[in-house]
Each structure stands twice: as structure tokens, then as C-alpha cells.
Structure 1
Amino acid sequence: MATPHDALTEVPHLLLRRPVRDIASGTEGTLMAVLVENTSSAGFPERWAEIAYIRPDGGGVELSTAVANVEAL
């Protein structure tokens, strides 16, 4: 499968730069970006998904999660 034309580029999202929570981990922070990424392991068929990046409150390393796991605070 060919790489999607918008792979690894930012996808518009209503909650960008706003306070959010990752419902999978409970992490609260700011939604910094949503990117289209290949989430499959090496040797397996490609699987493209929108991945959200949340910067925790107080700073630190951004958490990645499925965009469906992001909710507004």
C-alpha cells in the first residue's frame, strides 16, 4: 500500500492547544498535535491511524494516544 499523501502531517482538530484528557490513561494536558501515522509493526501490513499528542500539565514528554481517546476538559 502506498503511503497516504498526508502521512506525518498535522491533521486539523477542534481541541488543538486546548486542555484535554486521555481517557485510556487519565493523563490531562494540552493537545499539541494530531498526525496520521503508520501504527503497524515491522513485517505486518500498514495500518494508518490518527494519533494525538498530549503534553501533560506541568510539561514533560508528550503522550501519544488514539485521537478517539481524547476528550475536552
Structure 2
Amino acid sequence: MTHDVVPRPFEEVPHALLRKRVRDIASGVEGELMAVVRENVSAAPAREHWVKLAYVRGPSGREISTAVANIKAV
């Protein structure tokens, strides 16, 4: 019996600003950094394309995603 490994579409990575107040410089949204993940955004499994995304919970309670490079401490 063989066990195929199913690739994970994302993996959480540590970040110094997790659970801290941040600003997304691209949108201007300020909120709490909830997570940073490496996410496979490729449409084809044979050609993976991984990016690091930050998830920020704004004042409305909704989370937005943005490039990690866009995150600045407030």
C-alpha cells in the first residue's frame, strides 16, 4: 500500500508582529495581524508558486490579505 502525500495549499509561518497592531500600506487598513502564511497560488500543481501573505483583522472584524512586505507596525 502506498500513501500519497497531499500537498498543503498553505502553511503558517512565524512573524514578529503577530497579534500586534499593524497597517497595510497598500490599503491603509489598520488592525491586528492575525496570521502570516505561505500560500500556493499556482493554478497548476506541476508548477507551484508560493507567496507570503499577511492576514489583518480590521476594525470591522473582517480580515484582509496583503503581501507581507506591505505590513508596518503602528
Band of TM-score, shorter chain: 0.7 to 0.9
Q: Does the C-alpha gap of structure 1 residues 26 and 14 become closer, same or farther in structure 2, counting only changes over 3 Å?
A: same
Identity within the alignment, %: 57
Give the aligned length: 67
- Between the aligned partners of 1:46 and 1:9, the Cα distance in structure 2 is 14
Q: What is the aligned-residue RMSD (CA, Å)?
A: 2.0
**Is 2:29 aligned against 1:34?**
no
Q: Which of the two has higher C-alpha Rg?
A: 2
- Between the aligned partners of 1:57 and 1:18, the Cα distance in structure 2 is 13
Task: Could you tell me which runs of 5 or more consecutive residues in structure 2 were left unpaired when the two chains were aligned.
Answer: 1-6
Could you state the TM-score of these two structures normalised by the residue count of structure 2?
Answer: 0.78
Matched residue, 1:72: 73
- Between the aligned partners of 1:26 and 1:48, the Cα distance in structure 2 is 25
Could you state the TM-score of these two structures normalised by the residue count of structure 1?
Answer: 0.79
Q: Give the 5 Å matches for 1:1-73.
A: 8-40=10-42, 42-43=43-44, 45-59=47-61, 61-73=62-74
Amino acid at match of 1:14: A
After TM superposition, where is structure 1 displaced by more than 6 Å over at least 4 residues in a row?
none
